[in-house]
Amino acid sequence: MQTDHKNHIHHESHNHAHDHTEHHHECHEHEAASHEPDCHEAHTHEENGAYSHFAIPFFLIFAFAIVEAFGGFWTGSLALLSDAGHMFSDVAALGLAWFGAVLARKPNAKKHASGITVAELNVSIINAITMVILVTWVIVEAIARYKAPQAVKGMEVMVIAAIGLVVNLIVAKQLHQQAHSHAENLNSRAAFLHVLGDLLGSVTAIVAGLVIYLTGWLLIDPILSLFISVLLGGLTFNLIRDIWRTIHLKQPKSHHHHH
């Protein structure tokens, strides 16, 4: 009985989606004829509610990634710089999920055979390439700094990384709620994984700042930066694997189990 009820709801929501699409077309016809924006405004408001959950995390992380990048250069901390790099990759993942949510509502979006839009797939590939470059740079820089340690402002690193941790906690909570209330797809799952990885990155940068502040042991900075780059490398590998599977029409593993 419950299954029938669910099917009925699903059927109704499907019909509603269909009506909504028709309403969208009617809106455009209505606007073309009379130049009245009322119809479009109602439609836009409805759409904004559907994917604005990506807007707050996107702009929060984007703003803080810039702050953290400047902080990394100012304090001389590679752990902070690599965490900022991690945050920029989060911005790319969040942007991709947001982009996907917007595109999913466009009925004429060009799609790959796997169901994902071609534009989303291309952005995923660009995101993966950028992350490979970033990971490589952090590893090279960490090795150089291990051989010749640089002065790091420990206290300032702790403060900046702690603010980053708070930002990430807010974003992780928001994305976790969104993953439960909406159907999880490849990009929203990737965005959530990024933010979880970033939480770890912020904690790592706090540890680096604390150790340097208390003991003055500068080698902790490149050592923990290598740890963050391994974390980033793992995320990058997963992303590349998912892209590869998507291109070859295999469903990513995550689709088989629900949390």
pLDDT digits (tens, 9 = 90+) for 80-117: 998 898 888 888 878 887 887 777 777 666 776 666 67
Tally of CB atoms within 10 A around 256: 7
Question: Distance (Å, rounded) from C-alpha 57 to C-alpha 54?
Answer: 6
What DSSP state is assigned to residue 52? G
Residue 134, token pair as written in the block: 């970033």
Question: Distance (Å, rounded) from C-alpha 187 to C-alpha 76?
Answer: 33
State the virtual CA torsion across 99, 163, 233, 219 in degrees, nearest 10.
Answer: 160
What DSSP state is assigned to residue 53? G
Please check whether residue 85 is in contact with residue 73, taking contact to mean a CB–CB distance below 8 angstroms.
no
Predicted pLDDT at 250: 53
Phi, psi torsion values for 239, nearest 5 degrees: -65, -45
Predicted pLDDT at 180: 63
Report, as ranges of residue numbers, the positions in the chain whose pLDDT lies below 70. 1-52, 107-109, 112-116, 178-187, 190, 249-259
- Is pTM beyond 0.75 here? no
What is the residue whose two structure tokens read 């904690």?
A: 203
Q: From residue 71, give the alpha-carbon distance in Å to each of 25, 92, 154.
A: 49, 20, 11
Domain ranges of the chain: 2-36, 52-256
- Angle, helices 2-34 vs 38-51, to 10°: value is 140
The burial class, CB within 10 Å (0-12 / 13-18 / 19+), for 232 is: buried
Predicted pLDDT at 221: 95
| Cα of 91 vs its chain's centroid, Å | 5
Question: Distance (Å, rounded) from C-alpha 56 to C-alpha 64?
Answer: 12
Predicted pLDDT at 4: 52
Give the residue from 107, 124, 98 showing the smallest Cα distance to 247.
Answer: 124
Phi, psi torsion values for 117, nearest 5 degrees: -75, 150
Residue 147, token pair as written in the block: 């051989």
Predicted pLDDT at 52: 64
Residue 59, token pair as written in the block: 């702009």
State the virtual CA torsion across 90, 91, 93, 97 in degrees, nearest 10.
Answer: 130
Predicted pLDDT at 64: 93
Alpha helical stretches, state H, the chain: 2-34, 38-51, 55-75, 78-104, 118-147, 154-181, 186-215, 220-247
